[in-house]
């Protein structure tokens, strides 16, 4: 296989076509069409590999480039058609072999050209290419960026703190400890910090690692034969010679004594040298068994922020965001159906969306409420689950009656569980505040207050959160 920087052959297609030259001309046209960060980061590395039967076959050395550049498919095709003077098409693919050759070529060029870049365009291009190279080495997922994160009441604080860390690494909130159940967006926020720093502060060195991978590297460094001291020193420098260290799922460090020892000294080295540390976990440091006090206190010395399950409105917003990116028109009742049936985390919500969009594409149909019900095997709402049944479950839990909730009584014994009734009805049924107010014989504004009160208190009141979880299980049956 040959590539853009070395191809000299031509392919016959109604005459001799120099597809490399044509792609170069099309690429020059795209310079004024595609945003600079996309052009310099992803398009400049694309090479024309062949031209057959009216189609350009393009290759890229970057895995992420395919998805990014395909979002500019129309512009690329128009540029190719313009330089060819006829209707042509193209196909872009990632090629690992080309990627290896491309990276080697770039390293050689960098070694030869060490002078400072005074040309603003060349400087921007060099920074962008450096960020791409770093992003590939750091192994970040391109979809986990701040602009792709839907902020709700469940994540507002965590998002704000993560953004503050990304903008000013090690100047505030160090370490940052993000915790919450699986599938709520911890990894997304952590990697978003990495992406932001790589793009806006390309001189900083970022390292992302899953705790399981870190553990495996510790074990491997110990077990292999040869000079163990030298090998361990190399391993340690890999994680200590960075400006930002992102450690995902730290809870897996439990009972791994040697790994905890390594993490401790790495933490000390980075923190003492003013480097940023970001950690995620499915629980608080104090709830990780066997975690030494010296590690626990260090994890707690910065700021700890929690991600909780998204409320109904945020679940709707997440689904709308996914549909807008895919250019899908989805009826409101379909959004409501999915949001009512998938409450626990963002991952299962996205899974439901991916399932219905894939099935609709395969079947060649539009997404309707009945079609989605069939695909997801779920109902608009459980026929047996009503406002009355939810109120009964809560009343039974607190030793009161549903009539007490409907009464004008304002005592703590009645008002506290009544707030919970409003919250659970909203979460389980997605009912409007007007409908809930009508059921409880109260004002709409009172229902809104009740819902927001419980939602906000759950962030800091772990007993209330546990109560809501228990009641939710009761309601689910």
Question: For residue 121, how many other CB atoms are within 10 A of its CB?
Answer: 11
Q: Which domain holds residue 337?
A: 312-376
- Whether 382 is covered by a domain: the verdict is no
CATH of residue 362 = 1.10.8.60
E strands, 126-233, where? Answer: 176-179, 206-210
Residue of higher predicted confidence among 313 and 379:
313
Please check whether residues 299 and 339 belong to one and the same domain.
no
Domain boundary among 79, 100, 132: 132
- List, for residues 332-370, the tens digit of each pLDDT value: 888 988 988 888 788 889 999 999 988 888 888 888 888
Please check whether residues 37 and 110 belong to one and the same domain.
yes
What mean pLDDT do residues 86-109 have? 82
Q: Say what the pLDDT of residue 162 is.
A: 94
Domain boundary among 80, 100, 132: 132
| Angstrom distance (rounded) from CA 106 to CA 347 | 38
| Angstrom distance (rounded) from CA 23 to CA 41 | 17
What's the distance, Cα to Cα, between the start and end of the chain in Å? Answer: 61
CATH of residue 244 = 3.40.50.300
Task: Specify the long-range contacts of residues 372-380, CB closer than 8 Å, at least 24 apart.
Answer: 372/334, 372/337, 372/338, 373/337, 376/337, 376/338, 376/341, 376/352, 378/337, 378/341, 380/333, 380/336, 380/337, 380/340
Residue of higher predicted confidence among 71 and 168:
168
Q: What's the distance, CA 157 to chain centroid? A: 16
Please check whether residues 331 and 426 belong to one and the same domain.
no
**DSSP letters of 357-371?**
HHHHHHHT----HHH
- Whether 408 is covered by a domain: the verdict is yes
Please check whether residues 150 and 296 belong to one and the same domain.
yes
| Angstrom distance (rounded) from CA 421 to CA 474 | 13
What mean pLDDT do residues 224-248 have? 84
Please check whether residues 282 and 317 belong to one and the same domain.
no
Whether a cis peptide bond, with omega within 30° of 0, leads into 219 is: no
Please check whether residues 369 and 409 belong to one and the same domain.
no
Handedness of CA 124, 129, 133, 136 (dihedral sign): positive
Please check whether residues 219 and 150 belong to one and the same domain.
yes
Q: Supply the DSSP symbol for 329.
A: -
- List, for residues 238-293, the tens digit of each pLDDT value: 899 999 999 999 999 988 888 999 999 999 999 999 999 999 998 899 888 889 99
- Whether 140 is covered by a domain: the verdict is no
Number of domains in the chain: 4
Domain boundary among 331, 353, 376: 376
Q: Which of 7-21, 225-239, 303-317 bottoms out in mean pLDDT, i.e. has the lowest?
A: 7-21
| Angstrom distance (rounded) from CA 324 to CA 442 | 37
Please check whether residues 398 and 442 belong to one and the same domain.
yes
With a cut of 90, say whether residue 474 has pLDDT above it.
no
Q: Which residues contact 59 (CB under 8 A, 6 or more apart)?
A: 3, 46, 47, 49, 92, 93, 94, 95, 98
E strands, 71-205, where? Answer: 89-94, 176-179
Q: Say what the pLDDT of residue 11 is.
A: 35
CATH of residue 46 = 3.30.300.180
Pairing mode, strands 89-94 and 11-12: unpaired
| Angstrom distance (rounded) from CA 477 to CA 471 | 10
């Amino acid at each position: 296989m040959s590539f853009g920087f070395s191809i000299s052959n031509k392919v016959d297609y109604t005459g001799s076509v120099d597809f490399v030259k044509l792609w170069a001309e099309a690429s020059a046209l795209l310079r004024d069409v595609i945003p600079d960060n996309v052009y310099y980061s992803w398009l400049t590395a694309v090479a024309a590999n062949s031209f057959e039967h009216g189609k350009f076959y393009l290759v890229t050395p970057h895995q992420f480039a395919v998805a990014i550049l395909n979002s500019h498919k129309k512009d690329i095709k128009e540029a190719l058609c313009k330089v060819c003077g006829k209707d042509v098409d193209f196909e872009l693919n990632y090629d690992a072999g080309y990627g290896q050759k491309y990276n080697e070529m770039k390293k050689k060029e960098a070694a030869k050209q060490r002078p400072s870049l005074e040309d603003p365009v060349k400087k921007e291009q060099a920074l962008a290419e450096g960020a791409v190279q770093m992003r590939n080495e750091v192994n970040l997922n391109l979809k986990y960026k701040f602009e792709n994160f839907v902020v709700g009441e469940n994540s507002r604080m965590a998002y704000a703190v993560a953004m503050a860390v990304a903008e000013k690494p090690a100047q505030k909130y160090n370490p940052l400890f993000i915790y919450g159940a699986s599938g709520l967006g911890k990894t997304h926020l952590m990697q978003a910090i990495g992406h932001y720093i790589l793009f806006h502060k390309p001189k900083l060195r970022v390292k992302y690692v899953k705790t399981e991978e870190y553990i495996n590297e510790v074990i491997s460094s110990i077990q292999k034969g040869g000079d163990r001291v030298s090998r361990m020193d190399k391993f340690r420098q890999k994680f200590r010679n960075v400006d930002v260290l992102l450690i995902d799922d730290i809870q897996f460090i439990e009972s791994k004594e040697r790994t905890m020892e390594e993490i401790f000294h790495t933490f000390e080295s980075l923190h003492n040298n003013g480097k940023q540390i970001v950690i995620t976990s499915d629980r608080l440091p104090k709830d990780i068994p066997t975690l030494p006090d010296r590690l626990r206190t260090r994890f707690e010395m910065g700021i700890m922020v929690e991600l909780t399950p998204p409320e109904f409105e945020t679940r709707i917003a997440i689904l709308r965001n996914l549909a807008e990116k895919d250019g899908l028109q989805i009826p409101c009742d379909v959004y409501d159906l999915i949001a009512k049936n998938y409450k626990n985390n963002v991952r299962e919500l996205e899974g439901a969306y991916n399932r219905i969009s894939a099935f609709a594409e395969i079947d060649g149909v539009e997404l309707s409420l009945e079609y989605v019900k069939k695909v997801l095997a779920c109902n608009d709402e459980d026929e047996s689950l009503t406002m009355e049944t939810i109120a009964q479950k809560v009343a039974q839990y607190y030793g009161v009656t549903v009539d007490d909730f409907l009464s004008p009584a304002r005592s703590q014994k009645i008002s506290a569980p009544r707030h919970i009734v409003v919250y659970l009805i909203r979460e389980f049924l997605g009912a409007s505040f007007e409908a809930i107010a009508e059921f409880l014989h109260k004002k709409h504004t009172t229902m809104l207050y009740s819902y927001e009160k419980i939602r906000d208190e759950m962030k800091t009141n772990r007993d209330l959160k546990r109560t809501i979880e228990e009641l939710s299980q009761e309601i689910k049956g």
